[in-house]
């Protein structure tokens, strides 16, 4: 094995960023402004993971609704989480406009699929308005598609996340080494040796921006970031516009957006089993996601049955408390990470990237995103 490794191309730089999604690109852009010699290693292609497989919906908050967050985190913490996603959304808009990547402030709808969820939406809007957020409740279905109620967030946006990621990397003048999977990190004096497909890199620091794949690189993440299967149905172009703004429904488990070319995109996922909770061995995770999304489409968007549909799957990463993780590996502190973004990585990307770089450069506390909260 060592002989094979020695035949690899050997490089050196200041920082290696692992992962060329939006989070990795935001980190690279900041490091480039700071003058660091940075290399990007990507197992697939630029935006080939969760970023490129997203629906391009930049949404305020988390799945599960604000009343749940207040109950789970406490009022002050929930308010901070929602405020950070608003900050992340506005930073994304600023970057997209600066880089001339189309971004549209469509607003979004959160839709209830049953009366108990409608009650949760009403409670959430009351709490959101009290806490200064712009949200509105409607007791009926504005789409007339079998939903029970709606929460409207007027400032949410849509963006081509892949185009924004590529633009950030291009303007940073950084070469991305695609198809270069990283499979080991090891200390070498005060530096880190990165072993990857076709090359090895010696660097001062490593940034892991790999979301749901974190546990494949280091066992530290095994009980902190759960890989979660997601599935997307995409129709061929519809004859008319049926959605003027993106939606999420069923406590965030399903989402839908009509793309500019009138194709309808429907996505779904299921929360990973909690620690100690047993899965049904007869049900594969992919089957549960597919069946849930198929039922949702059949009930609310029957167009899916009458059009050609392509499917694509992906992997998201969920933490036990639903918030991203920013920190350093305890046994290898030269390795920093921003992972575990769930289904809302586009809203978190710029905030998490900024806190990670501030941790690297100034030992600044990542605050509510700090990985130390799970220890």
Rounded CA gap, 346 and 12, in Å? 31
The CA-atom distances, in angstroms, between 367 and each of 8, 78, 308, 329 are 39, 14, 46, 17
The CATH classification number of 109-156+224-318 equals 3.30.9.10
41 strand-pairing partners: 18, 177
Among 108, 138, 346, which residue's Cα sits nearest to residue 245? 108
Phi, psi of 50 (to 5 degrees): -60, -35
Percentage of residues in the chain with pLDDT exceeding 90?
A: 85
Question: What angle (nearest 5°) sits at the alpha carbon of residue 133, between those of residues 130 and 137?
Answer: 80
**Model confidence band, residue 295 (pLDDT cutoffs 50, 70, 90):** very high
Element counts in the chain: helices (H) and strands (E)? 9, 19
Q: What is the pLDDT of residues 190-227, one digit of tens each?
A: 999 999 999 999 999 999 999 999 999 999 999 999 99
Among 95, 245, 69, which residue's Cα sits nearest to residue 155? 245
State whether residue 43 is helix, strand or coil: coil
338 strand-pairing partners: 326
- Domain limits, CATH 3.30.9.10, in the chain: 109-156+224-318
User: Does residue 368 register a pLDDT over 80?
Assistant: yes
Can you say whether the dihedral through the CA atoms of 66, 68, 72, 74 is positive or negative? positive
Strands 264-269 and 226-235: antiparallel
pLDDT higher for 338 or 375? 338
Overall pTM surpassing 0.85 (yes/no): yes
State whether residue 114 is helix, strand or coil: coil
| Per-residue model confidence (pLDDT) at position 53 | 86
Rounded CA gap, 337 and 360, in Å? 10
Fold classification of 2-52+163-223+322-374 (topology level): FAD/NAD(P)-binding domain (3.50.50)
- Domain limits, CATH 3.50.50.60, in the chain: 2-52+163-223+322-374
Among 158, 207, 155, which residue's Cα sits nearest to residue 354? 207
Rounded CA gap, 353 and 66, in Å? 24
Asked whether the beta carbons of 247 and 111 are under 8 A apart, the reply is yes
Q: What is the pLDDT of residues 255-285, one digit of tens each?
A: 999 999 999 999 999 766 444 334 343 334 5
Q: What is the pLDDT of residues 232-249, one digit of tens each?
A: 999 999 999 999 999 999
Rounded CA gap, 305 and 10, in Å? 52
Among 100, 76, 30, 108, which residue's Cα sits nearest to residue 350? 30
Q: Which residues contact 35 (CB under 8 A, 6 or more apart)?
A: none
Rounded CA gap, 37 and 212, in Å? 26
- The number of beta carbons lying within 10 Å of the beta carbon of residue 26 is 28
Can you say whether the dihedral through the CA atoms of 203, 334, 210, 170 is positive or negative? negative
């Amino acid at each position: 094995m060592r002989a094979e490794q020695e035949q690899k191309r050997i490089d050196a730089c200041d920082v290696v960023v692992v992962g060329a999604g939006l989070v990795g690109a935001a980190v690279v852009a900041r490091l480039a402004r700071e003058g660091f010699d940075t290399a990007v290693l990507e197992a697939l292609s630029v935006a080939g993971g969760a970023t490129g497989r997203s629906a391009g919906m930049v949404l305020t908050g988390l799945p599960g609704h604000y009343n749940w967050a207040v109950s789970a985190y406490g009022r002050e913490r929930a308010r901070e989480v929602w405020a950070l996603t608003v900050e992340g959304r506005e930073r994304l808009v600023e970057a997209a406009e600066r880089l001339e990547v189309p971004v549209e402030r469509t607003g979004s709808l959160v839709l209830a699929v049953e009366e108990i969820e409608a009650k949760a939406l009403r409670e959430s809007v009351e709490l959101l308005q009290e806490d200064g957020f712009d949200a509105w409740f409607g007791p009926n279905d504005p789409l007339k598609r079998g939903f029970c109620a709606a929460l409207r967030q007027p400032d949410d946006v849509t963006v081509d996340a892949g185009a924004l990621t590529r633009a950030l990397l291009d303007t940073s003048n950084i070469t991305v080494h695609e198809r270069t999977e990283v499979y080991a990190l090891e200390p070498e004096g005060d530096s880190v040796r990165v072993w990857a497909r076709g090359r090895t890199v010696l660097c001062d620091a490593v940034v892991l921006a790999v979301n749901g794949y974190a546990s494949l690189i280091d066992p530290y993440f095994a009980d902190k970031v759960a890989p979660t299967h997601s599935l997307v149905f995409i129709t061929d172009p519809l004859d008319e516009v049926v959605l003027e703004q993106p939606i999420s429904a069923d406590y965030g488990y399903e989402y839908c957006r009509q793309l500019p070319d009138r194709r309808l995109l429907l996505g779904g996922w299921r929360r990973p089993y909690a620690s100690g909770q047993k899965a049904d061995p007869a049900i594969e995770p992919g089957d549960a996601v597919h069946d849930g999304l198929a039922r949702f489409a059949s009930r609310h968007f029957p167009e899916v049955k009458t059009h050609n549909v392509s499917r694509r799957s992906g992997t998201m990463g969920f933490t036990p408390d639903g918030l991203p993780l920013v920190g350093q590996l305890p046994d290898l502190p030269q390795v920093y990470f921003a992972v575990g973004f769930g289904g809302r990585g586009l809203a978190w990307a710029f905030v998490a990237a900024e806190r990670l770089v501030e941790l690297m450069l100034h030992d600044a506390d990542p605050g509510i995103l700090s990985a130390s909260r799970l220890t």
